[in-house]
Copies of this chain bind each other. A is one copy, B any other.
């Protein structure tokens, strides 16, 4: 039985970790932290947990936490994560960090998009945790940089095309849309029910969203050369889900049926990636609450473009579910343990 701490448990990825880990047969969550709510039972903050997980929220004291657990999930904002992760590592703990702090290999790039990195020496040590592409390294890692939600949907959506060198790398346009949990649980007017409900909008337009360097880093590794994309995120009035509609131009003529086969072979045996049959496209509704990434591939015969559409639950495969998948690998457990849950529909 692994003892686990969730550092930063009062946000949406925190409570989602608790939901998933509650069903995990080899994990006991023994520490949960929240600066704002320290001293209260977590079931007071999230009444969904009542009678099942009523442990008390603590302040973040890394040394004390590390003494009591085997694995630490840090579900903190960027910067807050890199303030505590080094201590956990020094004390020999395995860490899955859900923030952006260890996702970029290059501290200079991190500095440009975020701020000066506090422990750049750890970047080489961290493994970007997308199991479908980097399973072996994850198994040996002690620090997992758990991917962002948009990046997960885009990287899984493009990996077969880029690995196969099938598309013009300059032609990639990613148009994504996310449910509102992606905006976090902070008290902001912009995220009030009545501000978001019954509206659809883009944000971070023009190449300024912080997930861009992360996406480009991974796509470039897949392609073997530098890739720059256009990326536009949108906000959908729903709780969960990310759908990425990804446009690219093939280098030669392609058929949808061949591409579907390419994708099916690429992801053959993957427990959480479902490549849809030709003619089908995914919906976030079909992955809600699950660790699945559904992918559909279409060719626009009129323009020649390939359109890949991928759907995930941003809180599961886009955050807490993938984090548990990484933990399983890192700790030598079966990869799907605790994660073989079906989507909730409706």
Contact = CB atoms under 8 A, between A and B. Distances in A.
User: So how many copies of this chain end up in the complex?
Assistant: 4
A283 interface: yes
A177 B180 contact: no
B340 A201 contact: no
A345 B51 CA distance: 16
Interface in A253-279: 256, 274, 276
A318 B280 CA distance: 28
A201 B345 contact: no
A346 interface: yes
Interface in A212-268: 212, 228-230, 232, 234, 236-241, 243, 245, 247, 256
A341 B19 CA distance: 8
A299 interface: yes
Contacts of A247: 173, 230, 247
A253 to B, nearest CB: 15
A189 interface: yes
Interface stretch (A1-9, A96-104, A190-198): A190-198
B283 A206 contact: no
Chain A contact residues (Cβ within 8 angstroms of B): what range?
35 or more
B346 A230 contact: no
A234 B177 contact: yes
Interface string A282-294: 1111111110001
Contacts of A177: 177, 200, 234
Contacts of A206: 256, 298-301, 307
A12 B194 CA distance: 9
A109 to B, nearest CB: 13
25 contacts: A12-B346, A18-B342, A19-B343, A22-B340, A22-B342, A47-B280, A50-B276, A52-B340, A175-B175, A177-B234, A181-B194, A187-B189, A193-B195, A193-B237, A194-B239, A197-B197, A197-B237, A198-B198, A198-B241, A199-B286, A202-B245, A205-B281, A207-B300, A207-B302, A207-B303
Given A198-B238, A205-B309, 19 more contacts: A15-B345, A19-B342, A23-B23, A23-B341, A47-B276, A50-B286, A175-B175, A175-B232, A198-B346, A200-B283, A201-B283, A202-B243, A205-B281, A205-B296, A206-B307, A212-B302, A230-B302, A240-B346, A344-B344
Interface of A: 12, 15, 18-19, 22-23, 46-53, 170, 173, 175, 177, 179-181, 185-189, 191-203, 205-207, 212, 228-230, 232, 234, 236-241, 243, 245, 247, 256, 274, 276, 280-290, 294, 296, 298-303, 305, 307, 309, 311, 340-346
